[in-house]
Amino acid sequence: MKRISFLFAAAIALVLASCGGKTAGEQNDNDSVSFEQSQIEEKIMMELDSVADEWNKLAPVEGVLSNGKIQLSEEEIKVKPDYLLDLAQIENLSLLSQKYRAIGMLSVDKKVAELYKMDVDAYKATIAKLATDVNDPAINIKDNGTADDIKAFYSAERENGRINLFWEASAAAIVENLYVISQNIDKFLPAFDDQAASDFTYHIALLKLSLDDLATYDNNIKALDELLAPLNELNAISVDQFREQLNKMKPQIEAARAELLK
């Protein structure tokens, strides 16, 4: 996976150059400091933009749930998934970071619900309410889920000074995808070929780069980065490797998912 090694090397070089040789752990760690995108150094922003460009070249991670490769029988459709988010849980969220994470997770769950021919109006209404709560019309762009939509979502959040929240939502979507797939590997994994499996874990590597960069500036991101650290072991470049790693890491995936909205 040379492309990942190259990006990690580039990220380390840029971070060290822009921080005068300090690591993220040596920076100011005051929990009372709010995220201010204007504080991001130019070289770090260039790195984030480069990572986003790579990210937007890939098919959205939730796309595998709606590309037509997963076919459920009438009998399977009758057994509705019991592992999706409880929408009532969303009503108690109060933090921006929680709400953006919920949006990322619900964008995945909505596609699963569609597969099982469940009523998705409640998902759409909940996402719309969250978009209103956080006063962010860009979320309506993201909810469509195409590669162009994700690119537009990133651009809008960068313009609005919410680049950190783009990555919060994206991280949650990845974790929810991993969680959903791990709940029914035999049904969902056949939708992947080796390229799709490699691209999925490449998403995880790109996510790590962005979270590492932003952890210096945002304590919510720093906590998220630490929470998702075990997922860095997902580096499959084939479907067989992806299956093996998903089975091995199912407990870590479930643990990370359980903590996302806390």
Is the model's pLDDT at 32 over the cut of 80? no
The whole-angstrom separation of Cα 153 and Cα 3 is: 24
Tokens matching residue 155? 């651009």
How large is the C-alpha radius of gyration of the chain?
18
Higher pLDDT pick, 25 / 189: 189
Whole-number percent of the chain with pLDDT over 90:
69
Q: What is the pLDDT of residue 18?
A: 40
| Residue-wise pLDDT tens digits, 140-156 | 766 556 778 888 999 99
Kindly indicate the confidence band of residue 65, based on its pLDDT and cuts at 50, 70 and 90: confident
For the segment 221-243, the average pLDDT, to the nearest whole number, is: 95
**Phi/psi-derived region of residue 28, left when phi > 0, alpha when psi is between -120 and 50, beta in every other case:** beta
Token reading at 129? 């309410």
The pLDDT of residue 141 is: 62
Residue 42 has pLDDT above 80, yes or no: yes
How high does pLDDT run on average in the chain?
85
**239 against 10, higher pLDDT:** 239
Tokens of 159: 């313009």
pLDDT at site 142: 60
Q: What is the DSSP string of 134-197?
A: TT-TTHHHHTT--HHHHHHHHHHHHHTT-HHHHHHHHHHHHHHHHHHHHHSHHHHGGG--HHHH
Question: What global pTM score does this model have?
Answer: 0.85
Q: Is the pLDDT of residue 8 over 70?
A: no
Q: Please state the rounded mean pLDDT for residues 57-84.
A: 86
Which of the two residues, 208 and 61, has the higher pLDDT score?
208
